Amino acid sequence: MGEWIEREDYRKKILYDEEDLNSRGVLVQLVEVESGNKVGPHYHKNQTEVYNIQRGNAILGIDDMDFKAEKGDTLICEPGQVHYVINDSSEKFRLLVIKTNYEEGDTFWGTK
């Protein structure tokens, strides 16, 4: 397992990469968003992301739909869909993210 990588409003830890999984373009990571923080709108041209909520609850937006994501929920985000997280709860929000067709540089911040 990797170390936590700190970002401005969230942190992530890579659990398995394509070498670990012997599967090109697959990445598995944990993402944590502290109470009151948000991950701004962004999208990926090639990646599909599957989210499994591990802890807490938050608003998870995908395109024009907002979901109140809670522990145990699983959601999918297709390439090109703008997505974001707003942790409006009083506890840390943690999600497991499985990425397919992953490649560096395929994150575009803002809307299309």
Domain ranges of the chain: 4-102
pLDDT in tens, 31-77: 999 999 999 999 999 999 999 999 999 999 999 999 999 999 999 99
Q: Does 2.60.120.10 match the CATH number of domain 4-102? A: yes
DSSP letter string, the chain: ---EEE-SS-EEEEEE-HHHHT-TT-EEEEEEE-TT-EEEEEE-SS-EEEEEEEESEEEEEETTEEEEEETT-EEEE-TT--EEEE--SSS-EEEEEEEES--TT--EES--
Residue 1 has pLDDT above 80, yes or no: no
